[in-house]
């Protein structure tokens, strides 16, 4: 079943203004309540914040609790940090201090996200 017909797998588009585009998939079974909260606020936009070379995130102001959260992530994974309502894109394998709800993975354009600088505008849409 492809993502166009699946109710559990959705496409995510990450547009970095002036730098390019990344794409990925998010999976409803990983964090269904979190994903529903995100879907109600799509498309969303925020300014990038970079944490070392480990991950990039944008604060979206979305409220969702901890859901199947973990602290270990692999390069390319996407997660939601409920403590500040942020969508995170992991640039390398890492351990994080706060629990993050796993959502999916970047399937194309991770190199674009690797070039993101602090303050870059990122627009995200899930469909």
67 close to 79: Cβ distance less than 8 angstroms: no
Cis, peptide link before residue 43, omega less than 30° from 0: yes
Residue 2 has pLDDT above 60, yes or no: no
| Confidence at residue 63, expressed as pLDDT on a 0 to 100 scale | 83
The pTM assigned to this predicted structure is 0.92
Q: What is the pLDDT of residues 75-101, one digit of tens each?
A: 999 999 989 999 999 999 999 999 999
If you average pLDDT over residues 3-14, what whole number do you get? 79
Beta-carbon contacts of 42 under 8 Å, excluding residues fewer than 6 positions away, are 124, 125, 126, 127
Residue 5 has pLDDT above 70, yes or no: no
79 close to 91: Cβ distance less than 8 angstroms: no
Residue 3 lies in a domain: no
- Residue of 109, 101, 103 lying closest to 84 (CA atoms): 101
If you average pLDDT over residues 97-107, what whole number do you get? 95
96 close to 71: Cβ distance less than 8 angstroms: yes
CATH number at residue 34: 2.40.100.20
Residue 118 lies in a domain: yes
Residue 71 lies in a domain: yes
Residue 69 lies in a domain: yes
Domain that holds residue 71: 9-126
- Residue of 127, 38, 33 lying closest to 88 (CA atoms): 38
Task: Give me the number of domains the chain comprises.
Answer: 1
Question: Could you give the CA distance from residue 105 to residue 79 in angstroms, rounded to a whole number?
Answer: 8
Residue 107 lies in a domain: yes
Residue 17 CB-half CA count within 13 A? 10
103 close to 34: Cβ distance less than 8 angstroms: yes
| Confidence at residue 1, expressed as pLDDT on a 0 to 100 scale | 41
Q: What is the pLDDT of residues 20-64, one digit of tens each?
A: 999 999 999 999 999 999 999 999 999 999 998 999 999 998 888
């Amino acid at each position: 079943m492809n993502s166009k017909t699946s109710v559990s797998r959705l496409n995510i588009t990450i547009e970095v203004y002036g730098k390019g585009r990344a794409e990925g998939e998010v999976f409803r079974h990983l964090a269904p309540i979190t994903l529903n909260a995100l879907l109600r606020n799509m498309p969303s936009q925020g300014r990038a914040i970079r944490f070392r070379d480990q991950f990039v995130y944008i604060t979206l102001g979305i409220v969702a609790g901890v859901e199947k959260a973990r602290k270990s992530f692999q390069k390319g994974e996407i997660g939601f940090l409920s403590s500040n309502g942020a969508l995170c894109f992991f640039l390398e394998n890492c351990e994080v201090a706060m629990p993050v709800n796993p959502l999916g993975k970047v399937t194309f354009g991770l190199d674009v996200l690797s070039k993101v600088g602090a303050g870059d505008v990122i627009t995200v849409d899930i469909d």
